Amino acid sequence: MTPKRILIVGGGFAGMYAAMEMRRLEEIGHQVTLVSAENFMQYQPFLPEVASGTIDPRAIVVPLRPLLKRATIEVGEVTSIDHDARNVDVRIPDGGTVQLEYDVLVVTAGSWSRVLPIPGLAEHGIGFTTVQEAIYLRNHVLSRLDVATQTQDPQRRRAALTFVFVGAGYAGVEALGELEDLARDAMRNYPKLRPSEMRWVLVEAAGRILPELPPNLAAYAQAQLAERNIDVLLHTRLESAVEGTIQLSDGQAFAADTLVWTAGVKPSPLAGVGGLPVDARGRVVVDDHLRVGLLLLRHRIGRRRLLRPAVAGDRAGPAAADLGSEGAGADRFVCQPAPPRERHRAVRGGLGPAARPVRRLVGPGRGDRVVRT
């Protein structure tokens, strides 16, 4: 048996679980390397609770090195993939570049924040995709209370107590709800401030919030926000944030110290530069079995097997090939991101037409939860 070099790009849900399930391959001599921008995996759905202090940041991160003792962890960002030469270029933290070779490639690069060219957004907007950003946002919100209680300028006070969130998906609704709870509770320690002085604004370009949920559940969540005097502005876009002045498409203009951008994500650009087939929006084109053209995106690591590239018109799926056998043909293996529970099932070979629905939950704050099963 010739040992194979398995390279995993991305240390999120899919990448980490893929590496975990490949422990058996490592035991029989194959080499697993995981490239990740951080040396930990973060459980992103709990970022709003981290921002509000409900959950300790350490509770949502998993250090990769202690978990994947046999694997090699490379901290950096893959900038290019050369399928013909079977190597990738990795930009490491000190600014240099290293090259890693592979026999089997697993791509789980995930997504990036979708940022629009809005004047002032880059200078004043705060992202909400990492633990670091969640902690920063918590500290920033609390610092605005200090500014508001110390200033003698009514306009400055109003700007400090105005919080704008752009994007009403899961991230925006939950982050706003949790941080509004945090600020309201913290105001008990600021005798000069009243909760009614705060203004929380949720801006959404579409006609409803939480498009991931059925309309009735989204309407319930919106009603909960309205009861807390949170302004939900639908069919509204952010047009400018220059010098901290928020200008909206409905004509409103006001000063705000806090602008949080949660207006969705876009696919990692690695999909395009890596030679994978993508659609007009840069998303990898896959079939129901997570296959890309002739590249199969599903594996059964428990039996130490990877699947051969699919044959066109093969409805039964491609034949399995032992990773250790010569000429197996499983020379490129790519894994497409999926929801958390589905990711785990995919890595274990359980994702397919019979996969069960995933439970969805969103919390608009104050312990409220909207659940879809």
pLDDT at 55: 94
pLDDT at 277: 80
128/134 Cα distance (integer angstroms): 6
128, 134, 241 from 40: Cα distances, Å: 17, 16, 33
pLDDT at 133: 96
Q: Mean pLDDT for each 10-residue chunk of the chain (373 residues)?
A: 92 93 92 96 94 94 96 95 91 95 89 89 94 96 98 97 97 96 96 96 96 93 95 97 97 98 86 77 76 46 31 33 35 38 35 39 60 54
Nearest in space to 282 (alpha carbons), one of 296, 293, 266: 266
Q: Which two tokens stand for residue 196?
A: 């009614």
pLDDT at 319: 29
pLDDT at 299: 36
345/348 Cα distance (integer angstroms): 5
- Letter for the amino acid at 304? R
Is 159 in contact with 257 (CB distance < 8 Å)? yes
Domains in the chain and their CATH numbers?
5-112+266-360 (3.50.50.60), 121-263 (3.50.50.60)
78/99 Cα distance (integer angstroms): 9
pLDDT at 362: 61
366: left (phi over 0), alpha (psi -120 to 50) or beta: left
pLDDT digits (tens, 9 = 90+) for 143-164: 999 999 999 999 999 999 999 9
115/292 Cα distance (integer angstroms): 27
pLDDT digits (tens, 9 = 90+) for 31-53: 999 999 999 999 999 999 999 99
Strands in 3-91 per DSSP E: 5-9, 31-36, 40-42, 61-63, 72-75, 77-82, 87-91
Q: Alpha carbon 12 to chain centroid distance?
A: 9
